[in-house]
Structure 1
Amino acid sequence: MKVVVIGGTGLIGSKVVAKLNAHGHEAVPASPDSGVNTLTGEGLADALVGADVVVDVSNSPSFADDDVLHFFRTSTGNLLAAETVAGVGHHVALSVVGSEKVPDSGYLRAKVAQEQLIKESGVPFSLVHATQFFEFVGAIADAGTVDGSVHIAPVSFQPVAAEDVATLVARTAAGSPLHGVVETGGPERVRFDEFIRNVLAERGDQRAVVTDPDARYFGAVLRGAELVPGPGATIAETTFAAWTSHQAAAVR
């Protein structure tokens, strides 16, 4: 089976390509670096020749509200149109757990718009909703830093390893279209502010973590369980401690 992975050289995409190829599929990474630009449509038709499945794990280069909405609407529209012409039988897209619950976030509004285009396209599809990745914990702390302190809301948080997300995306691509959503998150549900506080302490980061109910996440205020998957989700196995240990071993 030929699978074209849009964003196939990135954090998730490169892992998806490797996993699919390891299981006997023909997974082809596609990105601007390989001459495939979903924003302009350049190279799309050629890239999709003979493709059975398209996996879209691409992301906007800018998270500004207007930019990210333009990216997902234009990129996804071009991609779906090219898939229809090429006769692609399955479109798989990676999105975010809770995106529909956080309308104040420009980024998450853009992800909802992307999903709507996919659902209305007529192309058989599967949507994978993932919680935040372990890999971005440091970036979350940096984004929440105000005057030297890290402001984080006291809400539920269930981060996941990118490796586990890639496994689910690859399995979904190899299967039949769901015509719906599968959610995934890590094995540990924690309180967001306490988790970030503990992680920074373990890393020797001296910044204080302030428990702030009004702290913003992707531009939005969180009030409860927006960042955790619902019933029936696929729960990954890798704990944060195991992931941290693996990362440390990899750099030795």
Structure 2
Amino acid sequence: MQEHFVCPYCDAALNRGVLSCRCCGRDLTPVLPLLRRLDTLEERLAAFEKRAEEDRAALAARPAPVAETVDSEPAEAQHAAAPTVPHGTRRRFWVLPFGLVLLLLAYCGVVLWLDLPLWALRLASIAIPFLTGLIYFGIRPRLIAFDIGIAAAFAIFSVVTMNALLGWHDNIPLLPQGPAAWRETSFYALSIGASMFSGMLLRVTQAALAARGLVSLPELRKGLLAVHGKVPMETLKTIETTILMAGTAISAIAGLVAAILGVK
């Protein structure tokens, strides 16, 4: 404790232990306990400031590489938290030769070996490319112009191979003869390509819905009820895209079936 203190009434310097001020004559007995507590708090505050100053000096004396390590951790953690998907897992190219072989086997079985009705070949020519397009996409599918080219190339190569097999078996020209034959071959290639493209569209739509948690109709209904009549814009866009894609696929398949069955 200090040996002197200041009178709270007249700011006169007084010795420690007096009960009244010699200058203003005021009684100091009521304020002496408060003055003692203020002195104690001042001592504690000074000790706290001294300790804080020592901590700041110790922190400033730390080596610089520690800060660089701390700064580099978030980038590494972010890189680990966002793994990249290999490009090969987006598309399963191995399904293309597999689907082609199945389609050629169906063609040989119906036309060359068993002599079955042509509607069996039409059905196989729609189902096998559709399943091939459905399996074609893997993780995180994204439909681009390259995939449309794949469907067209698959259809053209399939029809050319079938014509080559038929020409080799029956000893006839490879190319169709006459406008009717060209029209039938074109419709047949179009049906194969459109069926495969419909399978691709269905896979992309299913992946887009699954990414938003809409994997079934009950979950879609539950999500709509959770917003109390206020449907988010993203959900509306997803539903609209799904309806458009499904309608396009169904219309394409129905139109192709009707056109194919009408070709003689």
Same fold flag (TM > 0.5): no
- 1 or 2, which has the higher helix percentage? 2
Which is greater in Rg?
2
For normalisation by structure 1, the TM-score amounts to 0.29
Higher relative contact order (CA 8 A, sep 6+): 1
